[in-house]
Amino acid sequence: MTAGVNRFDWLSEFLARCEDEMIRVRGSSVRALAPAHLLHLDVEDWGRTAAVAKELDCRWCALWAEQLDAETLQVNACLSREGDYFVLRAAVPLATPVLPSHTPVYPAANRPERHAQDLFGLVFSDHPDHRRWIRHQAWAEDHYPLRHDFPARPEGVGETPPDSGYPFFQAQGSGVYEIPVGPVHAGIIEPGHFRFQAVGETVLNLEERLGYVHKGIEKIAEGRMPEALARLAGRVSGDTTVAHAWAACQAMERAAGVDVPSRALAIRAVLAERERIANHLGDIGAICNDVGFAFVQMQCSRLREDWQRGNQFVFGHRLLMDRVVPGGVWRDLTPQCAKLLLTENARLRSELDELLSILDDHPSLEDRLLGTGVLPAETARTLGAVGYLAKASGIDLDLRRDHGYAPYDRLTVDSPCLQAGDVAARLQVRAAEIRHSLELLEHLLKRPPVGPVQAGWRTPAAGAEGLGLVEGWRGEIITHVRFGDDGRIARFFPRDPSWLNWPILEQLIHGNIVPDFPVCNKSVNGSYSGQDL
C-alpha cells in the first residue's frame, strides 16, 4: 500500500451492511483523521457497528476517549482491515456517559474500555467486567483524572492505600491452590501482579493485575508544544523510544500537513531498525537464560551492549531517545557514520550466524521451548495479537509492509510468519526479524535519499488531528493527537502493542507447568510502562 493512500475497497460493503442493520453512519474524508477514514455514529449504534465489523473480518485495534467540552465526551475505536484503518466515533453526554461495549464482540476491547471507564467515567453498559483497572485506590469513586476539571498535580494527596481488595478470579476444587507473584519482583523490572491457580505444577488459570505505576502521560501531554510531546512520547516505554516518538510525530505531522523529507524518514527507519535489533537480542538471551542456557544470555548481552555503544557513538544516546523530532530528525547522518554502522552490521551478522546455529541444534533448549506456551492462531486472532506474538502463531501482520508508510513503501519488507505458536516460534521470529532488519539497514545506509533532514513546522488549526501508525519492535503502535489553541496539544493517546499482548499471556500459560511461567512471560515480554500510561 502506498503511504498516504487508502484503498478502502471493502468500505462500501461495510457501509451497506450497516444500512441493512439500520445503523446510521456519517462518513468523513480520510484527511479528517489521516490516514484513517472517520465514521460518526450515534451512541445506540456503537455496539451493533462493532458486530458488523466483526462479520467483515475487521481487526479491533484501539479505543480512546476525550472530553470535548463541559457537556460532551467523545469515544473513538480504531479498526483495521487489509492494511487500511478506520475510526468509529461517538459523542456521549457527560451527564449520562453510557454506551454499549465492544468487548462482547471483540475481547481485545476489555482493558482499553476499562481504562476509559476509570479515567473518564464512561460506563460500558454490557461490559463483562466493571472492576477498576488503572485507578487502583489512587482516586475516589467520583474522581476521573482525564476530565478537564481534574488537576494534573492534585494537592493534599497522601500515600495511596494498598490495593489489597481486588477481587481476583477464584478457582475451586480439590487440590487447587493459589500462587501470588509480585507486584514487586526481584531485579529491576517494573511492578505487575500475577495470580495463579494451579493443581500440582499445572496452571489452571492466570490473572494479571497491572497499572501500579500510573505516570499520567495522557494528562501531562495536554498543553505541550510539539517538540515537548515528541520527548514525552519517547518515554511511554523506554525500550521503544524511537517507535513511540515516530508515531507521535507522524500523527502531529499529518494533523499539521507537514511533509517530512525523504532523508529524514530514512534516518528514522535506521533508528527504528536498530531499536528492533537491540531489543530482540536482549529477549533471545533472556528467553534462553530463563531455561538455564546462560551462555546465550551472556553472548546476546555482549552483542546488545556493543550495538548500544554504537548508538551512543553515532546518535548520542544508547536508547536513541529524542532523535526523532517533529518534521524530521535531530541531525543528519554523515557518510563516515553510515560507513561505521555498515561495519557494525557486518560484524553482528557474522556473530549471529555462529550463535543462532547453536540455538537451532541444541536438544536441551528444544526440550524446554518446543510445545511450551502454545498460542493457537484462533486465540491470537480473537485477542488481537500483534508483532512477534502474532507472527509466531500464523498471523502475518506487519505495518511496514501492509500499511506501507515511508520509507518502507519503497523497500521489500520480509516479515517472518510461523505456525507453531510456542516459545520456540516466538524466539525464531525474533531471530528472523534481526536478520531482516540488518538487510533493511544495508539498503538504507548504502542508498540513502539526499536532501534536508527537517521540514519547516506549520502551526495546525485548533481541532486538527492525526493518527500515527508505526511498526514498533513489539508490533503495531497507534497514536492519536489532537491540537488545541496556539499549536498546543489538546489530546495525546499512544496505544502500545502491550495493550493487546498482555492478556494473551493469561491464555497461553494454561496447561503449562508453573516453572515455565518465566519463559512464557519473557517470550511475550509485554511492557508494563507501555500499558500503564
pLDDT at 394 (0 to 100): 95
Rounded to two decimals, the pTM is: 0.94
| Mean pLDDT score of the chain | 92
Write the CB contacts of 57 (distance below 8 Å, at least 6 apart in sequence): 81
287 closest CA partner among 170, 429, 101:
429
Q: 490: part of which helix (H) or strand (E)?
A: strand 489-495
* pLDDT > 50? residue 5: no
Question: For 84-111, what is the mean pLDDT?
Answer: 94
Question: For 416-429, what is the mean pLDDT?
Answer: 95
H helices of 32-98, in order, are: 46-55
Show the cell assigned to 291.
531455561
Instruction: Give the Cα separation of 35 and 405 in Å (integer).
Output: 10
* pLDDT > 60? residue 95: yes
Question: For 243-262, what is the mean pLDDT?
Answer: 96
* pLDDT > 90? residue 457: yes
Cβ atoms within 10 A of the Cβ of 334, count? 10
| % of the chain surpassing 70 pLDDT | 98
Instruction: Give the Cα separation of 228 and 224 in Å (integer).
Output: 6
Q: How far is CA 378 from CA 100, 304, 375, in A?
A: 25, 34, 8
| % of the chain surpassing 90 pLDDT | 77
* pLDDT > 80? residue 321: yes
Question: For 236-264, what is the mean pLDDT?
Answer: 96
pLDDT at 29 (0 to 100): 67
Residue 349 confidence class, pLDDT cut points 50, 70, 90: very high
Looking at residue 156, the DSSP 8-state letter turns out to be S
Helical axes 335-360 vs 423-446, angle rounded to 10°: 160
DSSP of 492-529, one letter per residue?
EEEE-THHHHHHHHHHHTTTSBGGGHHHHHHHH---HH
Residue 214 confidence class, pLDDT cut points 50, 70, 90: confident
Q: 461: part of which helix (H) or strand (E)?
A: none
Show the cell assigned to 386.
500483534
pLDDT at 3 (0 to 100): 42
Pairing between β-strand 489-495 and β-strand 476-483 as defined by DSSP bridges: antiparallel
Show the cell assigned to 182.
509480585
Q: Mean pLDDT check: name the lowest of 39-43, 165-169, 291-295, 454-458.
A: 165-169
pLDDT at 30 (0 to 100): 62
pLDDT at 243 (0 to 100): 97
Domains detected in the chain: 11-124 (3.30.460.80), 167-213+497-533 (3.30.390), 224-258+457-496 (no CATH), 264-317+329-451 (1.10.645.10)
Question: For 228-234, what is the mean pLDDT?
Answer: 97
How far is C-alpha 205 from the chain's CA centre? Answer: 25
Question: For 350-377, what is the mean pLDDT?
Answer: 91
pLDDT at 137 (0 to 100): 83
* pLDDT tens track for 9-53: 788 888 888 888 888 888 776 667 889 989 999 999 999 999 999
List 197's β-bridge partners, or say none.
178, 205
Query: 527 with 472: CB under 8 angstroms?
Result: no
Q: Which long-range contacts (CB under 8 A, 24 or more apart) does 27-32 make?
A: 30/6
* pLDDT > 90? residue 418: yes
Rg (CA), the chain: 23
Q: How far is CA 118 from CA 114, 133, 436, in A?
A: 6, 7, 41
Q: Mean pLDDT check: name the lowest of 20-34, 126-140, 257-271, 400-414.
A: 20-34
Looking at residue 149, the DSSP 8-state letter turns out to be T
pLDDT at 82 (0 to 100): 86
Pairing between β-strand 59-67 and β-strand 72-81 as defined by DSSP bridges: antiparallel
* pLDDT > 60? residue 1: no
pLDDT at 4 (0 to 100): 42
Query: 318 with 308: CB under 8 angstroms?
Result: yes
Show the cell assigned to 449.
535519499
Edge-first strand listing for the sheet containing 25-33: 25-33, 36-41, 84-93, 72-81, 59-67
Q: 179: part of which helix (H) or strand (E)?
A: strand 176-181
pLDDT at 2 (0 to 100): 39
* pLDDT tens track for 267-300: 999 999 999 999 999 999 999 999 999 999 999 9
Residue 267, φ and ψ in degrees, nearest 5: -70, -40
Residue 509, φ and ψ in degrees, nearest 5: -80, -15
Pairing between β-strand 25-33 and β-strand 176-181 as defined by DSSP bridges: unpaired
Instruction: Give the Cα separation of 309 and 216 in Å (integer).
Output: 31
User: Using CA atoms in the order 42, 46, 48, 53, what is the torsion angle rounded to 10 degrees?
Assistant: 110
DSSP of 313-329, one letter per residue?
HHHS-TT-TT-EETTEE
